[in-house]
């Protein structure tokens, strides 16, 4: 656990992956209607670095980092104002009490994922946003090959379509869904390559994916 936290600040692959996920999450809210005073919950926050990036970018002050692993909480409390230990399948929040939920690189590890999604729907306000990222199937297989994931930690491998369908089936409306990150490490021209591959509809070669979905008006 400590090795992973240190790696997020020192290993190029982990550090770059964190940066690109944070960038992708921030891009989901590049719109005038984003409520800057909203309550944001980060499920699986780990050290809270991604949530801190979102909080600082939008000058938010109602951000809660949550993780089931107690060992991460000390690191999270150094980066976000509130950090709690809880299970995403039993969220300790009232119905319709949160405007935004993010969960990055988490879904692949969760047994009983449908219950987590139901809980997100329950606590989100009508019109609230759920933003989910995970490696693509290609990204997971590469991570397993390079030793960044252990096989016992991968509960399911979801494609972009799988994630969209799961959210739609449980009362969400998908607003945006896309793959990103054509390389696990940065290099000169990486952004230009990503744009070119998207234009050629070759985004299946990317290593990460993101889905932004809106909660229905009925919980």
pLDDT digits (tens, 9 = 90+) for 70-129: 988 888 999 999 999 999 999 999 999 999 999 999 999 999 999 999 999 999 999 999
Provide mean pLDDT across the span 180-195: 94
pLDDT at 1: 52
pTM recorded for the entire structure: 0.92
Strand 124-135 vs strand 208-215: parallel, antiparallel, or unpaired? antiparallel
Among left, alpha and beta (phi > 0; psi -120 to 50; other), residue 121 is alpha
38 SS3 class: coil
Q: Are 130 and 213 in contact (CB under 8 A)?
A: yes
* CATH number of the structural domain 2-214: 3.40.50.150
Q: Show the beta-strand stretches assigned E in 48-171.
A: 63-67, 82-85, 98-104, 124-135
pLDDT at position 58 is 87
151 versus 30: which is more confidently predicted? 151
Token pair listed for 219:
């919980």
Tokens, residue 189? 């021209």
Cα distances (angstroms) measured from residue 210 to each of 151, 169, 180: 22, 17, 8
- The ranges assigned to domains in the chain are 2-214
CA dist 14 and 20 (Å) reads 10
Asked if pLDDT for residue 205 goes beyond 50, the answer is yes
Does residue 7 have a pLDDT over 70?
no
CA R_g for the chain: 16
CB contact set of 32 (below 8 Å; sequence gap of 6+): none
Angle, helix 12-27 to helix 49-58, in steps of 10 degrees: 40
Residue 61's pLDDT is 84
Give the neighbor-by-neighbor strand order of the sheet with 63-67.
82-85, 63-67, 40-43, 98-104, 124-135, 208-215, 172-180
Mean model confidence pLDDT for the chain: 90
Q: Are 38 and 100 in contact (CB under 8 A)?
A: yes
- Range of weakest confidence among 6-10, 37-41, 192-196: 6-10
Query: 63-67 and 208-215 as β-strands: parallel, antiparallel, unpaired?
Result: unpaired
- Predicted pLDDT at 106: 96
206 CB-side CA count, 13 A = 28
- Residue 12 clears pLDDT 90, i.e. is over it: no
Q: What is the pLDDT of residue 6?
A: 47
Tokens describing residue 212: 């932004």
Mean pLDDT, rounded, for 172-176: 96
């Amino acid at each position: 656990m400590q090795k992973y936290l240190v790696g997020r600040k020192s290993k190029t692959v982990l550090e770059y992956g964190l940066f690109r996920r944070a960038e992708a999450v921030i891009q989901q809210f590049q719109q005038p209607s984003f409520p800057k005073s909203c309550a944001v919950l980060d499920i699986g926050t780990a050290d809270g670095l991604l949530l801190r990036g979102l909080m600082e970018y939008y000058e938010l002050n109602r951000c809660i980092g949550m993780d089931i692993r107690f060992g991460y909480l000390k690191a999270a409390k150094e980066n976000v104002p509130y950090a709690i230990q809880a299970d995403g399948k039993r969220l300790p929040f009232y119905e319709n009490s949160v405007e935004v939920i993010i969960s990055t690189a988490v879904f692949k590890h969760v047994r009983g994922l449908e219950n987590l999604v139901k809980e997100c729907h329950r606590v989100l306000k009508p019109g609230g946003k759920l933003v989910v990222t995970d490696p693509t199937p290609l990204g997971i297989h590469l991570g397993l090959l390079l030793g960044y994931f252990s096989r016992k930690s991968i509960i399911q491998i979801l494609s972009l379509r799988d994630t969209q369908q799961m959210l739609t089936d449980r009362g969400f409306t998908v607003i945006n869904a896309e793959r990103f990150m054509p390389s696990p490490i940065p290099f000169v021209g990486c952004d230009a390559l990503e744009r070119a591959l998207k234009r050629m509809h070759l985004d299946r070669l990317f290593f990460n994916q993101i889905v932004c979905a809106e909660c229905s008006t009925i919980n």
